[in-house]
Amino acid sequence: MDQAGLQAIWLTVRLATSTTLVLLLVGTPLAWWLARTRSWVKGPVSAVVALPLILPPVVLGFYLLVLMGPQGPVGQLTQSLGWGLLPFSFAGLVIGSVLYSMPFVVQPLQNAFEAIGERPLEVAATLRASPFDTFLTVVFPLARPAYLTAAVMGFAHTVGEFGIVLMLGGNIPGKTRVMSVQIYDHVEALEYTQAHWLAGGLMLFSFVVLLALYILQPTGRRRGRVRGEA
C-alpha cells in the first residue's frame, strides 16, 4: 500500500465518520418530525429526503457545485461571511455526503419512531416526564437498534461514494481524494495491483456490513414477536 492509498483511506474514514455524526444529529429531529406530523408538508419533505435513492449522484453533485460556487447563492453567502468557497474542500464533501446519504439514516429512524406508537409516550406524559426526558428514557432505548442500522448504513454508504465526491471535491491528494477516486486513478493509470488492494478492501467492508445487518435484523424481529405475544 503506497502513501497515496493510505491518505485516501484515512480521508475516507474521516469523511464517513463526520458525515455519520452530522446525519445522526440532523436526522433524529427530522425523522421524529416525519414520524409524528400529519401536515401536508410531510409528503414533499419525505420525497426530498428520499431523492438521493434514485437521483444520480453526479446530478446532485453538479447542482451543489452550482449552489456553492462563486456565482451561487450559498457560495456568495459563504464568501461574504469570510468562509471562502465550499467546493473542493473537506467541508464541501461533508455537506454533499450528508445530503446524499440522508435517506439511509432518516428512513430507519423514522420507521422505528413510527413503530413505537402512542402508548409509551402517553405513559411517560402521565408520569410528568418532559418531551426531552421522554425521548431519552423511552424513545431512544426502543429505537436503539434503528440507530445502529442508521449509523452503519450512513457510514458504509459514504465510504462507497464516487460521483458526488468527484464532482464536488475534485481529486486533490490528501484533501478530497477518497478511496473511490483513488481506485479510479489507479485504473486510469493501469495500476491494477494497487486498484485491487483498495477495491478488494471496499468489497470486503461492504460484505461485512451487509452480513452484520442481516444477522442483527432477524434477532430484532424475533424480539418484536415475543413482545407482541406477551
Query: Residue 146 domain-assigned?
Result: yes
DSSP per-residue letters across 50-80: HGGGTS-HHHHHHHHHHHHSTTSHHHHHHHH
Residue 229: inside a domain, yes or no? no
With respect to residue 209, please indicate whether it lies within any of the assigned structural domains: no
Q: Which residues contact 116 (CB under 8 A, 6 or more apart)?
A: 138, 139, 142, 143
The whole-angstrom separation of Cα 97 and Cα 85 is 17
In a domain, 226, yes or no: no
Tell me whether residue 184 is in a domain: no
Whether residue 215 is contained in a domain is answered as no
For residue 17, the enclosing domain spans 3-178
pLDDT digit of tens for each residue in the chain (230 aa)? 677 778 888 999 999 999 999 999 999 999 999 999 989 999 999 999 999 999 888 899 999 999 999 999 999 999 998 888 899 999 999 999 999 999 999 999 999 999 988 888 888 888 888 888 888 888 999 899 899 989 989 998 999 888 899 888 888 888 888 988 889 888 888 888 888 888 898 889 888 888 887 777 655 444 443 343 33
Would 224 be classed as within a structural domain?
Answer: no
The pTM assigned to this predicted structure is 0.85
How many domains does the chain divide into?
A: 1
- CATH value at residue 146: 1.10.3720.10
Q: Is residue 205 part of a domain?
A: no
